[in-house]
Amino acid sequence: MEAVEAATVAAGQEQQPPAKVVEQLNPALQQQLNLDSLKTRAISLQDVSGQFSMVNLELYNIVEDIKNVSKAFSVHPKNVNAENATSMYTT
């Protein structure tokens, strides 16, 4: 039998690994942990996260567009002092 296995491995036909055994939780424990509700909330959070990501990307694009447009305008403040000078003249 070992000779047959060695011959198949040598021929390039490796044996398939045994199928994975998936353990199931006790149904009473599943109900106690409320896993169905947790799964539903996790899926809805993924949806909300995806929507937030899209809004965040759109906001970033709008800010970048405003930056490009605002470079065409210059503002000359009337009152510059030590307190507000650093924020007005940084790029």
d(CA 57, CA 61): 6
Q: How many domains does the chain have?
A: 1
Q: Return the pLDDT at 54.
A: 92
Q: What totals of helices (H) and strands (E) does the chain contain, helices first?
A: 4, 0
For residue 49, being part of any structural domain is answered with yes
H-helix or E-strand spanning residue 48: helix 35-70
For residue 56, being part of any structural domain is answered with yes
Residues 69-82: what's their mean pLDDT? 75
pLDDT higher for 55 or 4? 55
For residue 59, being part of any structural domain is answered with yes
For residue 54, being part of any structural domain is answered with yes
Q: Return the pLDDT at 26.
A: 83
Q: Is residue 67 scored above 60 in pLDDT?
A: yes
**78: Cα within 13 Å, side-chain hemisphere:** 0
**79: Cα within 13 Å, side-chain hemisphere:** 1
Q: Return the pLDDT at 56.
A: 94
